[in-house]
A and B are shown apart, each in its own frame.
Chain A
Amino acid sequence: MASVPFEYGLLLAGVLFALGLTGVIVRRNLLFILLCVEIMLNAAGLAFVVAGARWGRPDGQVMFIFLLTMAAAEVAVGLSLLILHFNRRKTLDADAMSGGGA
């Protein structure tokens, strides 16, 4: 099985991270911001796995499992906050929530 070159993997991770970040900045819907944060997390996880494969060590995969666990916890908390917020304000607009004018 031909292995994917190391650089490609990192490049994919970087593109994913940039996409996620762009989403966090440009989206106003809180749900999508949360999704984009997940994409960024997965990009970081991918970078770990690729790096682990490159040097043939298990550390990258260990870190990825950590990341998954943390992401699950984060999503649980984030989603419940989001639902609470929606119940209260009837909106998911991050700018309206920030209250900084406009």
Chain B
Amino acid sequence: MLSWIWIVPALPLAGFLLLAVCGGRLPRGVSAAIGAGSVGLALVAAAAAAVQFASAPPAGGAYTRVLWQWVSVGGFSPSISFTVDALSVVMILVVTGVGFLIHLYSTRFMAGEEGYSRFFAYMNLFVGSMLILVLASNLLLLYLGWEGVGLCSFLLIGFWYSDPENARSARKAFVVTRIGDVSLAIGLFIIATSLGTLDIQEIARKAAASWPVGSALAVASAALLLGGAVGKSAQLPLQTWLPDAMAGPSPVSALIHAATMVTAGVYLIARTNVLFSLAPSVQLAVGIIGAAGALVAGLSATVQRNIKRILAYSTMSQLGYMFLALGVGAWSGAIFHLVTHAFFKSLLFLAAGVVILAMNHEHDIFGMGGLAKKTPFTFVVFLIGALTLAAIPPTTAGFSSKDLILVLAWQSGGAGKVFWLVGILGVFVTSVYIFRLMFVVFGGAPSAAAAGGHGAAQAAKPPTSSPSGTPHGAGAEHGHAAGRGGMQAGVIMGIPLALLALLCLGGGFLGLPRDLGGTPFLLNFLHTILPAERMPEPSIRTEWVIQVISEAASLLGIPAAWLLVRRERRAVAAAAPAPAVRRFLEGGWGFDWVYDRGLVRPFVWLARINSGDIVDRVADGIGGLTMLLSRAFRWTQNGRVRWYAAGFAAGAVLIVAAVVLL
């Protein structure tokens, strides 16, 4: 029945191969068609798989298609096999669906860029790796996708590699996530050696049977998996790569933040929920990391001036909510928020890309302004995205999922009540930072950048653009044809925006709160594979109260944002130096500073003093000896024919003498 499921990841990978082998020689239109088309076809295949899966659910809620045996060594035999169950069906729909819209948008957004087909090749590989990750039925294959995603993020963040700053950001993302990857790898070793398998279903069965709750092995393996998830999902303390990842083009940010990459960590924890249930202390740590991350990143977002960095911190904050949900055992709730987050965050990033284009590559929000009148369509979709992010009706997507997480956190009791409180604070902060962005970018008077935005006025940035606060990405979105600068979204870029906006508006109907008469379709679907929540069913009254509180927090954020913006505009006008607290928040709570002083510099110092070690000497010595010999014998090659003849003769004499005498 679902035996053809391998076609879903195979399509983007085939697109990647095609573009990688002959991309440079294809016309741009063909590259775009291959790039977007392969993901589009994958979406069709994924949708067909979903329909087939839903209409005839396989026994046990999961169908595994084994393609072939990967290796077989000493009883350890992982295979290349894909599992179709409720969780992976939801994930492939999100990855291919949102991924396809982003690809469609990119065909226009990246027009005029160098490396057009290279871009689509990377994007296809990214989507393909993510699909392998979510479909893998054993952790080894999952790890393959996991590393593929990491590689592609490196390639795409550094897409404009000619700017050293972008290349640095790409390296940072790669190295920081690698720390998590190593942790994940060690976790896999522990699981493989102690349970003798990496098959996810078997792990669940064997672990539940052989490991008591809280046993050392369970805690160790869960903690190491958490380390991997923290790195990939940019949670404390490995979150520092995400804001810098804004160096890539806007569609890349959308893809990294919404459909792929950062959701991998959440997926991993949900997928291996059995291990986390066996290690309650680690599960609590998941919740603490999530709650802290939601607040820390949210507060940082309130003071950023680079539009994409605001959204980056917002992503970290929203991922914090997902971790919080995982921490209280609301596995399905976390996946629900993952889905809705994919809708609204990709919408926000793609709309931000349009804004940045409209402002001639201005990233500083205080260099923008008055865009509501100038780009009404972008304004509307951005507003929908912002309302969804802030969980304010009439948009349903963010409202339903965030409400679910908060209710479940409350119901879980104990630490859950604290998480709930932090979550409510986070809701307020979320509303503040996103409406601050809205007020500054779309409200107020049109800035000079907007006024001069048409046509060839791209050169010479207007004086309002502040160089501070935009260390990365300012001027990163370079290279677009000048004639397109300052333009509106256009049809090709407008369609994905409109579709995503519709998903934001209606996505909540997948699981509207019960007190509003909804049926949690998605949750019921996911419960076929993920364990149900252990907390008591909340009463309708509790749901109501929590909804009212969180809505109040959201709505309260709007006037707060307004006040904040008024104060900030004055500060920007007066060019006053930022107070210490603000600088602290803007720098992401000093994590970068600590890592730089505590790890990077000592490492560089060690590398420098160790650069003359014995290995180095040997390598240098070989080089030096070669140079010496070359200098010694260079004079023999003087180009004189008689000299060479003498050389022949001497050589012949030597050989004959050797033959005769020896």
Contact = CB atoms under 8 A, between A and B. Distances in A.
A24 interface: yes
B451 interface: no
A100 B645 contact: no
A99 B638 CA distance: 9
A11 to B, nearest CB: 16
B655 to A, nearest CB: 15
Contacts, number: 28
Interface string A55-92: 00000000000000000000000000000000000000
A94 B639 contact: no
Contacts of B638: 100-101
B642 interface: yes
B642 A95 contact: yes
B639 A100 contact: yes
B198 to A, nearest CB: 68
A95 B643 CA distance: 9
A100 B641 CA distance: 9
B640 interface: yes
A25 B649 contact: yes
B59 interface: no
Contact of B640 (A21, A33, A98): A98
Contacts of A24: 642, 645
Interface string B630-662: 000000001111110110010000000000000
A25 B642 contact: yes
A27 B639 CA distance: 16
B642 A97 contact: no
Nearest to B652: A21
Interface residues of B, number: 9
Contact of A97 (B641, B643, B646, B649): B641
A28 B642 CA distance: 8
A25 B645 contact: yes
Contact of A100 (B640, B646, B649): B640
A97 to B, nearest CB: 7
Contacts of A21: 645, 649
A33 B640 CA distance: 14
A95 B646 contact: no
A97 B643 CA distance: 13
Contacts of A33: 642
B649 A98 contact: no
Contacts of A26: 642
Contacts of A100: 638-640, 643
B642 A101 contact: no
Contacts of A97: 641
Interface in B195-239: none
B640 A95 contact: yes
B639 A25 contact: no
Q: Which residue among B638, B639, B640, B646 has the maximum number of chain A CB atoms within 10 Å of its CB?
A: B640
B641 A25 contact: no
A94 B643 CA distance: 11
A26 B646 CA distance: 9
A59 to B, nearest CB: 22
Contacts of B643: 100
A101 B639 contact: yes
Contacts of A99: 639
A98 B639 contact: yes
Contacts of A101: 638-639
A14 to B, nearest CB: 11
Contacts of B641: 94, 97-98
A27 B649 CA distance: 15
A28 B646 CA distance: 13
A15 to B, nearest CB: 15
B642 A94 contact: yes
Contacts of A95: 640, 642
A79 B157 CA distance: 70
A24 B650 CA distance: 13
A25 B646 contact: yes
A25 B646 CA distance: 6
A99 B641 CA distance: 10
Contacts of B639: 98-101
Nearest to A27: B642
Nearest to A28: B642
A52 B645 CA distance: 29
A44 to B, nearest CB: 13
Nearest to B639: A100
Contacts of B649: 21, 25
A21 B639 CA distance: 19
A99 B639 CA distance: 7
B638 to A, nearest CB: 4
A84 to B, nearest CB: 17
A24 B649 CA distance: 10
A68 B645 CA distance: 22
Interface in A16-61: 21, 24-26, 28, 33
Q: Which residue among A24, A25, A101 has the maximum number of chain B CB atoms within 10 Å of its CB?
A: A25
The 6 closest A-B pairs by CB, nearest first: A100-B639, A100-B638, A98-B640, A25-B646, A100-B640, A98-B641
21 contacts: A21-B645, A21-B649, A24-B645, A25-B642, A25-B645, A25-B646, A25-B649, A26-B642, A28-B642, A33-B642, A94-B641, A94-B642, A95-B640, A95-B642, A98-B640, A98-B641, A99-B639, A100-B638, A100-B640, A101-B638, A101-B639
Given A25-B645, A101-B639, 20 more contacts: A21-B649, A24-B642, A25-B642, A25-B646, A25-B649, A28-B642, A33-B642, A94-B640, A94-B642, A95-B640, A95-B642, A97-B641, A98-B639, A98-B640, A98-B641, A98-B642, A99-B639, A100-B640, A100-B643, A101-B638
